[in-house]
Structures are given as C-alpha cells and as structure tokens.
C-alpha cells in the first residue's frame, strides 16, 4: 500500500508534470506537518535551537602547511588514502589539494 511519501517520490521523479501532482505535493506537506507535530508532542522529535543547529553543522578544518601541501601535490603516484593516513587529514582534503593543483 502506497502512502503519501511514496506518491510524493513518484511525483518528484516526474518533476510534478502530470495531472494531480500538485495535489500530491499539497497532501505531502500537510501530512508531513501533522506527523512531525505528533512526533514532537510524543517526545519522538525534539526541537532544535539555533545554537544547536549551528554546532551540528560545524566542521573542523585542518590547517595544512605549505610543505605538506607541496608533498601532496608532487606525490601523485602515492594513493590518497596513504597520504591521508600519514598526514592525519581526510582523504577528501588530499583529493581537493590534488584537484586544485591539477587545475593550475
């Protein structure tokens, strides 16, 4: 049995182009609000203050010295995971440095 979420997903995939998709969109938002408010009343969902929201989205950044950056840029033959483990930084940071270096 399909619920309003399944209907919304299908309408979203169709980009809300078919007849009746606007009704599905309205039904989704109405039903979602009702369920969210019910979850809050029952203690299943807690409100989040602005400070908590900001802290949950905070990402710590590592300062990468020029010598380390140069090593990462020049050692293209060493896998990113090994460099990340060696320098104690994320793999995505290594890949980002390499990508930026290759653009130059």
Q: Give the pLDDT band of residue 27 (cuts 50, 70, 90).
A: very high
Average pLDDT, the chain: 86
What predicted TM-score, i.e. pTM, was given to this entire model?
A: 0.43
CA distance 5 to 27: 9
Extract the tokens encoding 21.
Answer: 């998709």
Per DSSP, the three-state class of 55 is helix
> Please, what is the end-to-end C-alpha distance for the chain in angstroms?
55
Lowest mean pLDDT among 17-21, 46-50, 90-94: 46-50
pLDDT in tens, 34-67: 888 888 888 887 777 777 767 766 766 778 899 9
Tokens of 55: 């802290």
Q: What pLDDT, on a 0 to 100 scale, did the predictor assign at position 53?
A: 66
Which 3 state secondary structure label does DSSP give 94? helix
| Nearest-angstrom CA–CA distance, 78 and 74 | 9
């Amino acid at each position: 049995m399909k619920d309003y979420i399944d209907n919304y997903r299908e309408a979203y995939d169709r980009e809300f182009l078919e007849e009746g998709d606007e009704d599905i969109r309205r039904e989704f938002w109405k039903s979602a609000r009702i369920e969210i408010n019910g979850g809050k009343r029952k203690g299943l969902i807690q409100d989040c203050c602005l400070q908590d929201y900001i802290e949950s989205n905070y990402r710590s950044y590592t300062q990468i010295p020029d010598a380390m950056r140069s090593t990462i840029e020049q050692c293209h033959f060493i896998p990113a995971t090994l460099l990340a483990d060696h320098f104690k930084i994320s793999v995505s940071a290594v890949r980002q440095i390499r990508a930026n270096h290759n653009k130059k």
